[in-house]
A and B are shown apart, each in its own frame.
Chain A
Amino acid sequence: MSKRKGVYAAKVKRATHMLFFRRHQKPGVKGWELHKTLGADYPKVLDVLDDYLKNLDLQVKTVFEEEKTPAAKPTLEEYDKARFYVTLRGDLTPKEAKMIGWRIDDLAGLAVAISYIISKKGQAQRKDVEDLLCEKLPGWKVGLNIERYIRYGYLNQDDNAQLYLDWRTRAEVDQKALIDMLLNAEKQSTLPVASSKEGEEEEFDETGKESEED
């Protein structure tokens, strides 16, 4: 192995450690942290890592500051301000979603809340979102669910009870695709989803996730 390759292999390894293992309260790593540890060529290191992860159906996701994805090739300064995550490259089946800790109702509620907020130019009254969710979910659960979405970082709420999309939605959800697909929803066949009968115990280890978040 050439010296250069060896250096890159070591940097990829270091980047993997930084990206996979949670270092702060929120997951992900800031560009400047990678810059400091890996050097100025860290975007290249991340490209190499991203290539490795392809086979595992994972990817290195870059979330630029204030969602301003640069039109041309991002500058090092823009990368330094961005946040990097490792996310799933493809998509989950409903069964898998359940396995990682989401009930179908909760996931549907999240999808509704996110798409409604997007349609309202990124902010909506909590009351409006609750009313919408109450049409299909029991009222007692709606409030709890919204609190959970906020706690996980999907939504954010200000003092005026306005809901916004938060960092996790920006990192995990392809917003444009979500809206496009939702509008074309009737054209696609209903996806096979594990049924969720009322009262059926299909909770995953919510306690585990809760304690981890808190």
Chain B
Amino acid sequence: MQSVKNAKLGREKLQRIIEMCMAIEAHAVDPFMLDVDDIIKVTKEYFPEWEKPEDLNLDAETIHHLASVIKLQSEWVKHRSTSLYTDPFLLEEKITQTPKEDMVGVFLRTWHPIVELEQISVHSLAEALRYWETLLPLSERWKELAPDEIGTGFATRDELIKQRVLGDKLFSEELEKFWLELKETVEKKGHEGKMRYWDFVGAETYEDTVQRAFLTSFLITYGYATLEIHPLEELTFIKPFEKPQTRIRTEQAVSVPIAVTYDDWQKWRRGEMD
């Protein structure tokens, strides 16, 4: 019972010490208000009482703050010992007593203003003139870009494919085919119904890899497959669904950006993506 009371008292004392130290650290109290020897005595006295981690933590915190106060005391002593130190009260007194003319006199003897010039040169003028000559008038630079008038018309599917707006297959067909390919590849090379993302999207050329990554993103968005990410191991797996998932999601969908850079592709080619 006595020990419990003692520990409670000790905790209170340490709390008070920490508060005092924090006030000193905030420059609200003179650092020499704190008797470091006394504080060390107190921490030593109660140290045997501490068994719980939170009490030991409190003890460590006290020592940490005490160290900060000692640092402040040392800085204070260092500043006092420098030639720049002047008693602020004495100086304040001097400042208020010294007539402003004398103050200016003193200041002017210690003030060495920076010399700087702002001047235009013949060279910069010539440069500026050259620029001016090549500068288009505002009326031309700020001319409104009126949209070209183009009459509406019809575009054939072939034309859209030519303009690369559409692929040569229907996108949904292409996606379905790609999904089947994913399922087959996972079956052959995958493990537990999934495979490494890069092993699936990676192709012979970088262009093909980007194309595959692009299609894969649609597979995931449209519910043909999902991603499994192991953040600690930095591994990303792709897992095809047996049937496309068309049900309405109840949870928030998450976008997962996956960079498919040329360097990554080369790493994958060298087998360094593990």
Contacts and interface: CB of A to CB of B under 8 A. Distances in A.
Contact of B108 (A93, A115, A136, A183): A93
A87 to B, nearest CB: 4
Contacts, number: 148
B101 A87 contact: no
B109 interface: yes
Interface stretch (A39-47, A72-80, A105-113, A142-150): A105-113
A28 B116 CA distance: 8
Interface string B232-249: 000000000000000000
Contacts of A27: 114, 116
A97 B104 CA distance: 10
B92 A119 contact: yes
A87 B111 CA distance: 9
B177 interface: no
Given A119-B91, A132-B95, A193-B104, A177 B109 contact: yes
B84 interface: yes
17 contacts: A22-B116, A85-B114, A86-B114, A86-B116, A87-B113, A91-B108, A104-B100, A107-B107, A116-B92, A132-B95, A176-B83, A179-B86, A181-B109, A183-B94, A185-B103, A186-B97, A191-B105
Contacts of A136: 100
Interface in B78-103: 79, 83-84, 86-88, 90-92, 94-103
Nearest to B121: A21
B112 interface: yes
B201 to A, nearest CB: 45
A178 B107 contact: yes
Given A116-B95, A182-B106, A20 B117 contact: yes
B110 interface: yes
B113 A100 contact: yes
Interface residues of B, number: 35
Contacts of A10: none
Contacts of B88: 116, 119-120
Interface of B: 79, 83-84, 86-88, 90-92, 94-119
The secondary structure that dominates the B interface is helix
Contacts of A21: 116-119
Nearest to A184: B106
A70 B97 CA distance: 36
A171 B114 contact: yes
A108 B103 contact: yes
Interface string A15-51: 0000011100001100000000000000000000000
B107 A111 contact: yes
Interface string A192-209: 010000000000000000
Nearest to A120: B88
Contacts of B103: 108, 111-112, 182, 185
A193 B110 CA distance: 16
Contacts of B87: 119
A59 B84 contact: no
B113 A172 contact: yes
Contacts of B97: 186
Contact of A177 (B99, B101, B110, B119): B110
Contacts of A176: 83-84
Most chain A CB atoms below 10 A, which of B79, B84, B94, B107: B107
A207 to B, nearest CB: 16
Contacts of B95: 112, 115-116, 132, 182
